[in-house]
């Protein structure tokens, strides 16, 4: 939130610039030294982030001169004291102070600013449900906020928090409102940065590179170099998505030293992680390792989980390629732990948004239901005996409305449960996502380990998937992934665990299965994938590579099975793809066919 370099921080808004750090204008060193308490208060508000040390000294002096302040100024001083507590990492104290000011302060503009800061503090504390409740209430009253700075504060928090919850289109709309309020200047620069980040995160197909350059130019025009570099970071991400690695590397390298000079670790970690990925795509493992290590060093100190996850995964791949299996395993364990923490946090925010949204809708319906019930009671009390016959029709109608409300409440509850289920599934294929595949597989392994029965892990990777996307388009790529899932499901047993690990890679955990059985099933799936479907007139040729690891050789620890299967899969890809490779131990994966050979044959079976 406010403090840079505070090691107790556990939450950052999606790696973008922390909005409150750039709200204040630069301190005016040339201004005459103020004498009155009111002048000190005004100066303190201007420099609270530009020169926080001087701001803290002013607060100490003002605490002894509160008698000179008006009631309105005393409320502002209380807000700045709470702000400083949040800035220095005392979130719990700051939250208590901000909640009291939000309830009791007489000035609506100050209350709006306080609520914006409170939302930010609640996000830092992972109290996402409360943050969304405050945000929902504040946005309902947004039309009543006439102070543009207060609106800017609230709209910025809304854009960041909704973006973190995966509501990118809605987040971009609030960022766009900032641009409407501030077509130029510092606030407009921040609005453009937020809007571009939201659009990129939401994978909008109509986003153009020129829009990033326009945003950069608007920020440089007002001297906001750090925000301009944040936009450049997102421009580099767009270049990498479009496979323009040279453009991305040139942009990142040109401004890397400048970014490090800001002493802002979130942005420096992002730049280092992106440079590592770009160099890895360019087959420069040495520089990829250098920048990935730098990203880990920065991100681990402040818990920037997104860049930490990407860098650990890349270092694992580098060590595995170099044959350093022990170091690869260590990085993989760190990657899995960081990835789980990141996914848990993302899921927590998304669920908090949906739950609060459903609660708001439920309360509205319940309130409508109470109003209808009151109308029925009032009608029954007011009508005399002669009018009762006529009124029964109206009462019946109201009862029907109540029944409809009850039905919609039931539908809302089902919608909440459905969302909880969807959080476990991959959006494209409908099978388990990575996190829940790992959880289900670990649970299955614990079960079979009790009886010492065997289990096998199969990793499947679609061959030349990038070429399919580039040649036939992303629709064909999505169809290919769905087809592989459909084929695999036809070969699954009820106890098998099947999930999408990432991109074009899938995993199947086979409980109570021998290595020979796993080999036979993998070979059957491989043959089915490369077969031409009878119902497809325009067939896209498909094949897949398989890596298998068994508990017999690697034990029941899921991570070790995953490393072994991944090593076998890497061998399958290296040896020509479209084949099944079994990992017999940590150092010697071997290829087999399912045509009667035993593992002792150590055969290499390249599929035709």
- CA dihedral angle for residue 530, residue 533, residue 537, residue 543, rounded to 10 degrees: -10
Give the count of domains, the chain.
Answer: 3
The per-residue pLDDT for 49 is: 56
> What is the rounded average pLDDT of the residues 499-520?
93
Q: Which of 117, 134, 165 is the last residue of a domain?
A: 165
- pLDDT top residue among 306 and 52: 306
- CA dihedral angle for residue 464, residue 470, residue 474, residue 480, rounded to 10 degrees: -30
- 505, 577: one domain: yes
Query: Which residue, 188, 177, 238, is CA-closest to 212?
Result: 238
- 416, 439: one domain: no
Do residues 46 and 25 touch, judged by C-beta distance below 8 A?
Answer: yes
- pLDDT top residue among 391 and 213: 213
> What is the rounded average pLDDT of the residues 306-335?
89
pTM above 0.75, yes or no: no
Is 324 a member of any domain? no
- 538, 584: one domain: yes
- pLDDT top residue among 27 and 411: 411
Please list the alpha-helical segments (H only) found in 88-224: 91-104, 108-124, 128-140, 148-164, 168-181, 185-201, 209-221
pLDDT in tens, 153-182: 888 888 888 887 788 888 888 889 889 988
- 411, 508: one domain: no
How far is 115 from 130, CA to CA, in rounded Å? 11
How far is 259 from 225, CA to CA, in rounded Å? 9
Sheet holding 589-591, edge to edge: 497-502, 505-511, 455-462, 544-550, 580-583, 589-591
How far is 346 from 300, CA to CA, in rounded Å? 18
DSSP code, position 451: T
Strands 544-550 and 580-583: parallel
The CA R_g of the chain, rounded to the nearest whole Å, is 29
Tally Cβ neighbours within 10 Å of residue 34.
14
The per-residue pLDDT for 573 is: 93
Supply φ then ψ for residue 548, to 5 degrees: -125, 140
Average pLDDT, rounded, for the chain: 80
pLDDT in tens, 516-563: 999 999 999 999 999 877 665 567 889 999 999 999 999 999 999 999
- 447, 567: one domain: yes
Asked if pLDDT for residue 112 goes beyond 90, the answer is no
Is 140 a member of any domain? yes
- 12, 152: one domain: yes
- 572, 442: one domain: yes
pLDDT in tens, 118-155: 888 888 777 888 888 888 888 887 788 888 888 888 88
- 16, 51: one domain: yes
How far is 118 from 112, CA to CA, in rounded Å? 10
The per-residue pLDDT for 372 is: 66
The per-residue pLDDT for 473 is: 85
- 439, 571: one domain: yes
How far is 267 from 261, CA to CA, in rounded Å? 11
349: helix, strand or coil:
helix
The per-residue pLDDT for 24 is: 37
Asked if pLDDT for residue 16 goes beyond 80, the answer is no
Alpha carbons within 13 A on the beta-carbon side of 63: 10
Tally Cβ neighbours within 10 Å of residue 311.
31
Is 188 a member of any domain? no
Q: Is 91 left (phi over 0), alpha (psi -120 to 50) or beta?
A: alpha
- Tokens found for residue 114: 């306080």
> What is the rounded average pLDDT of the residues 98-127?
86
Q: Which helix (H) or strand (E) holds 109?
A: helix 108-124
**Residue 73 belongs to domain with CATH number:** 1.25.40
- 377, 454: one domain: no
- 398, 449: one domain: no
Q: Which of 100, 130, 165 is the last residue of a domain?
A: 165
The per-residue pLDDT for 602 is: 34
Where does the pLDDT of residue 50 fall: very low under 50, low under 70, confident under 90, or very high at 90 and above?
Answer: low
Is 562 a member of any domain? yes
> What is the rounded average pLDDT of the residues 112-121?
87
How far is 82 from 517, CA to CA, in rounded Å? 64
**Lowest-pLDDT range, 7-11, 118-122, 419-423, 473-477?**
7-11
Domain that holds residue 544: 434-601
pLDDT in tens, 77-102: 999 899 888 877 788 898 999 999 98
Q: How far is CA 361 from the centre of its chain?
A: 25
Is 384 a member of any domain? yes
**Residue 439 belongs to domain with CATH number:** 3.30.70.270
Is 359 a member of any domain? yes
- 588, 506: one domain: yes
> What is the rounded average pLDDT of the residues 207-236?
90
The per-residue pLDDT for 34 is: 60
The per-residue pLDDT for 407 is: 77
Is 321 a member of any domain? no
pLDDT in tens, 252-277: 999 999 988 877 788 889 999 999 99
pLDDT in tens, 355-411: 766 665 665 565 566 566 666 666 666 655 555 656 677 777 777 877 777 777 777
How far is 266 from 5, CA to CA, in rounded Å? 10
Task: Give buried/exposed letters for 427-465 (b at 16+ CB in 10 A, else e).
Answer: eebebbbbbbbbbbbbebbeebeeeeebbbbbbbbbbeb
Where does the pLDDT of residue 283 fall: very low under 50, low under 70, confident under 90, or very high at 90 and above?
Answer: very high
Q: Which of 108, 131, 165 is the last residue of a domain?
A: 165
Asked if pLDDT for residue 597 goes beyond 60, the answer is no
Is 214 a member of any domain? no
């Amino acid at each position: 939130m406010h403090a840079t370099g505070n090691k107790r921080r556990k939450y950052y808004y999606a790696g973008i610039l922390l909005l409150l750090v750039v709200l204040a204008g630069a301190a005016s060193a040339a201004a005459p030294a103020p004498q009155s308490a009111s002048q000190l208060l005004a100066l303190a508000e201007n420099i609270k982030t530009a020169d926080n040390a001087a701001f803290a000294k002013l607060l100490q002096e003002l605490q002894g001169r509160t008698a000179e302040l008006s009631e309105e100024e005393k409320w502002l001083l209380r807000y700045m004291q709470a702000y400083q507590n949040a800035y220095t990492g005392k979130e719990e104290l700051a939250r208590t102070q901000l909640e009291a000011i939000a309830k009791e302060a007489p000035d609506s503009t100050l209350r709006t600013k306080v609520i914006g800061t409170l939302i930010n503090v609640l996000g830092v504390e992972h109290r996402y449900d409360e943050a969304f409740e405050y945000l929902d209430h504040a946005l309902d009253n947004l039309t009543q906020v006439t102070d543009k700075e207060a609106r800017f504060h609230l709209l910025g928090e809304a854009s960041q928090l909704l973006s973190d919850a995966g509501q990118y289109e809605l987040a971009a709309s609030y960022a766009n409102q900032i641009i409407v309020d501030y077509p130029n200047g510092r606030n407009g620069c921040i609005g453009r940065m937020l809007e571009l980040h939201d659009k990129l995160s939401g994978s909008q197909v109509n986003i153009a590179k020129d829009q990033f350059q326009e945003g950069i130019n608007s920020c440089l025009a007002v001297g906001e170099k750090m925000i301009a570099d944040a936009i450049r970071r997102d421009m580099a991400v767009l270049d990498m998505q479009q496979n323009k690695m040279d453009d991305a590397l040139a942009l990142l390298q040109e401004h890397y030293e400048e970014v490090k000079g800001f002493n802002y670790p979130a942005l420096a970690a992002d730049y280092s992680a992106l440079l590592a990925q770009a160099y890895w795509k360019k087959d420069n493992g040495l520089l990829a390792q250098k920048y990935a290590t730098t990203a880990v060093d920065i991100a681990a100190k402040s818990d920037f989980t997104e860049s930490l996850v990407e860098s650990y995964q890349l270092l694992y791949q580098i060590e595995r390629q170099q044959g350093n299996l022990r170091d690869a395993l260590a990085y993989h364990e760190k990657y899995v732990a960081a990835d789980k923490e990141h996914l848990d946090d993302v899921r927590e925010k998304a669920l908090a948004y949906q739950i609060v949204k459903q609660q708001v809708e439920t309360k509205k319906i319940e309130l409508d239901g109470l109003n209808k019930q009151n109308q029925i009671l009032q009608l029954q009390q007011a009508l005399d005996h002669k009018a009762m016959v006529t009124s029964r029709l109206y009462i019946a109608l109201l009862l029907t409305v109540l029944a409809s409300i009850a039905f919609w409440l039931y539908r809302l509850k089902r919608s909440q449960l459905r969302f909880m289920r969807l959080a476990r599934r991959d959006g494209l294929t409908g099978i388990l996502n990575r996190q829940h595949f790992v959880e289900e597989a670990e649970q299955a392994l614990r079960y079979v380990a009790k009886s010492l029965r065997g289990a096998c892990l199969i990793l499947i990777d679609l061959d030349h998937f990038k070429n399919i996307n580039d040649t036939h388009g992303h629709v064909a790529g999505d169809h290919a992934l769905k087809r592989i899932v459909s084929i695999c499901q036809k070969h699954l047993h009820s106890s098998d665990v099947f999930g999408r690990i990432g991109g074009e890679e899938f995993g199947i955990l086979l409980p109570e299965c021998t290595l020979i059985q796993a080999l036979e099933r993998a070979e059957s799936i491989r043959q089915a994938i490369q077969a031409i479907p009878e119902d497809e007139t325009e067939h896209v040729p498909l094949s897949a590579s398989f890596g298998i690891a068994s508990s017999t050789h690697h034990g029941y620890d899921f991570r070790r099975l995953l490393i072994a299967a991944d090593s076998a899969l890497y061998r399958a890809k290296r040896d020509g793809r479209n084949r099944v490779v079994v990992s017999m131990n940590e150092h010697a994966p071997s290829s087999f066919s399912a045509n009667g050979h035993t593992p002792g044959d150590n055969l290499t079976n390249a599929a035709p």
